[in-house]
Each structure stands twice: as C-alpha cells, then as structure tokens.
Amino acid sequence: MTLDPNILFTPFNLRGLELKNRMVMAPLTRDRAIPGADAPQALNAEYYAQRAGAGLIISEATQSSPTAKGYAWTPGIYSQEQVAGWKLVTDAIHAQGGKIFAQLWHVGRISHPSLQPNNAAPVAPSAIAPKGQSTFIETGAFAPIGTPRALELSEIAGVIDDYRKATQNAMRAGFDGVEIHAANGYLIQQFLSDGSNHRTDHYGGSINNRLRFALEVIEAVSAEIGADRTGIRLSPVTPVNDIFDSAPATVYFPLVKAIDQLKLAYIHVIEGETRGARDVGGFDFHALRKEFNGAWMVNNGYTRELAIEAISSGYASLVAFGRLYIANPDLAQRFKINAPLNALDTTTLYGGAAKGYTDYPALD
C-alpha cells in the first residue's frame, strides 16, 4: 500500500458539507461552562475558534436536558442562555471557515443527586450502580456514584423528545449538524449493554429490544435535521464507566447495519478502550466498518502516521484527535509540516479558566 502523506489534508464531502481536511477535533469535556447556567461563554468561543483548522469540530458533550447532566460545569443545550452561548461558539468557528457538530449527551447513571433537579437519583435503564465510579460535582470535589433509578416505561418517550428538542436548539445555535453520543458508558450505551440493562419490557432483554432506544433517538434527531446532518459515536468494547456487554459483536453488528439503513452521515467509533488499549477482546473493527456505507470516523490514540495509513488504506474516511487538539490548537498545520507537538498539561484538563485551555501556543 502506498501512503500519501498529504491525504489527511485533502477536502472531504460529508453528505454535501465540504470539510477542508480529514482531521476532526473529537468531543472533549473541559468543564468550563458558566456555573449555574451551564452555558458556553466568550472563553469557550475563543478556545474553539483557535482549533477551527480542523476539517470538523465536534463539540464537547452537551446535556440534552437538566437530568442529562453528570459533571460540574458542563454545557447544556436546553435553555435560551445556553443556545445564545453556543451561538458565540459557532459564529467564531464559522468566521474562521470551520464546521462544527453538537454532540448531544445524556449521562444516565453516571451522575450524582447534587447535579440533578431536586437532588433526585439519576436515571438509567435499570437500577444498577456502576462499580467503583465517581463524578465531579459543583463543590469541586469527586463524589461516588450510587444506584440510579430505573426509567419508567412511560418516561422513555420524554427522554427521546429531549434529544429532539436539543437538536432543534443546536440548529438555532448555528451548528452544522449533530452527533449522538452513544459511547463511553452513558445512557444510550447503558440501554445497549446487557451489563446495565436488565429491563423486561420492549427496551430490554433481546438484542432488538436493547437496540430500540438508540434507534428511536436516531430517528428523532434525524427527523429534525435530516440523516445527512446526523452522526453517532459508538464505543463497542470500552469498559469506561463500568460499561460491559457479554457479547458486543452481537449488539454492534446489527446496530451498525440498522444505522446504515437510516443513512446517517457518519459513524464515529472509538476503537478499543477509551484513552487506552486499541486491541480489546479481539473485536474486528474493519469487519464492522464494512456494514456501513457512510463516512467512517476513527478515534483512539491515532498519530499522524496511523491516521495517514487508515485513510490511505480506505478503511477510514476521517480521523478524530482528542488530547492532541487540546495541547495543539493548530494541530492540522503541525501535522501538515510534521512539526513538533506541544506537551499536554493534564492538571488543567477539567475546570478552571484560560490556563491549559486557550494559552497553548500555535506555531509562529
């Protein structure tokens, strides 16, 4: 196979949306929304605009409703103030010639009562606590995650409708599309996985039943903005947030086939363990890719060289980079000329202000 080092920097047509290169800034939780309002602010707009050299930016995970929140100071997209804050961000990116999708998020059981309306228990498919997990609360401390409340069957339609309303708000805020967060052990993956879904109604039990919630969310979102402006993020074998399934291939192959039938713009797949080993359990991501005819976006520990190989081989359409984009706002330019990269300051990842957020230097 001949590797073309320039292939990362060629344009890509994403179902009619022209991306200037194949590099994607992955969604990155940074906990810097306005406390109390959970709205983006001018500092967030500056941060994203610095990184508008990416072909596509996917926003940090953004809660679809007040009950979808799982961490302090993460942004929402259900209030007017939040929509206005996100408009600052999208305007700043578009002024730089960039494109951005909103990642819509419901954490499910990965939350804490202090982050929920009226200090209620977080909701999930089943009342199963994630083992050994904690979350970051408004006091600035980490708090252990307890047992969630199982959603009543009558409540599920309302949760799906929250995704629909959040999609409407994303369009009002100027986003170019929406990515549904169905990865990393949050609510949609909790429905997909037999380790967290013990329901006995038509949202649990069989594979088809466990796929139902994800597919209904996809249908609600794509009905609002079109499948060509809708993507989804999956992490079939990650163990983060104590998520697991006894036979992930039996879940994700039919899920991807169903997503293909719904003609989404892309699937964004985390290969292996999030921020960890790429080869977990022998899962065949190349075979999974063959089930989908849309754009295939890959993620997890990709370097410049791995990205060039993935696209040159025809396996990937786009490559998403996470922490490399935190420390290198001009990552696309650095990769293009193979320049050295800034080191990441892991002490400033979550919370705070400009330090470790907007002060990473670009190339001269």
Q: Would residue 186 show up in a list of annotated catalytic residues for this protein?
A: yes
Q: Given this model, what pLDDT does residue 278 score?
A: 82
CA distance 276 to 40: 29
Strand-pair partners of 267: 232, 296
* Backbone angle region of 235, left / alpha / beta, with phi > 0 → left and psi within -120 to 50 → alpha: beta
Q: Spell out the domain ranges in the chain.
A: 7-348
Give the residue carrying structure tokens 């406390």: 35
CA distance 305 to 267: 22
Beta-carbon contacts of 36 under 8 Å, excluding residues fewer than 6 positions away, are: none
CATH, domain 7-348, list 3.40.50.1820, 3.30.70.20, 3.20.20.70, 3.40.50.12280: 3.20.20.70
Give the residue carrying structure tokens 């499948």: 227
Query: SS3 for 260?
Result: helix
> How far is the CA of 15 from the CAs of 26, 35, 42, 164, 349, in angstroms?
19, 37, 31, 21, 33
Q: Given this model, what pLDDT does residue 276 score?
A: 85
Which one from 186, 203, 302, 357 is the annotated catalytic residue?
A: 186
Q: What are the pLDDT tens digits along the chain (364 aa)?
A: 677 889 999 999 999 999 999 999 999 999 999 999 999 999 999 999 999 999 999 999 999 999 999 999 999 999 999 999 999 999 999 999 999 999 999 999 999 999 999 999 999 999 999 999 999 999 989 999 999 999 999 999 999 999 999 999 999 999 999 999 999 999 999 999 999 999 999 999 999 999 999 999 999 999 999 999 999 999 999 999 999 999 999 999 999 999 999 999 999 999 999 888 888 778 999 999 999 999 999 999 999 999 999 999 999 999 999 999 999 999 999 999 999 999 999 999 999 999 999 999 999 8
CA distance 328 to 340: 10
Q: Given this model, what pLDDT does residue 1 score?
A: 64
Beta-carbon contacts of 45 under 8 Å, excluding residues fewer than 6 positions away, are: 88, 89, 91, 92
Query: SS3 for 53?
Result: coil
Cβ–Cβ under 8 Å, residues 317 and 307: no
Q: Given this model, what pLDDT does residue 245 score?
A: 97
> How far is the CA of 72 from the CAs of 34, 69, 179, 245, in angstroms?
10, 8, 22, 28
CA distance 178 to 57: 11
Query: SS3 for 88?
Result: helix
Torsion of CA 151, 35, 48, 351, to 10 degrees: -90
Cβ–Cβ under 8 Å, residues 86 and 71: no
